[in-house]
Structure 1
């Protein structure tokens, strides 16, 4: 079982990546951010997505 992670509000650079993917920045939280990948979680449904940066 994996450890619990705290999801955070996206930074300005992360918001730009979300907007390029045509996603509403208010509905998504950032779980993990690397140089090549952004893992986001929907605030309501809990769905997870991986976006390339």
Structure 2
């Protein structure tokens, strides 16, 4: 079985959305939801699957 590296930009139950910045190669804060709102699931990408 092969391990797959997954980058999670939005952690489940977080109100902060992170985003990968292609220019700098770093993760940055993209937005913060209002109080009381949270993302319901992990959201991200698999590096080896990107087409850019």
Tell me whether the two structures share a fold, i.e. TM-score over 0.5.
Answer: no
TM-score (norm 1): 0.26
Higher fraction of helix: 1
Q: Which has the higher strand share?
A: 2
Task: Provide the TM-score with structure 2 as the length reference.
Answer: 0.26
Larger radius of gyration: 2
Q: Which has the higher contact order (CA 8 A, sep 6+)?
A: 2
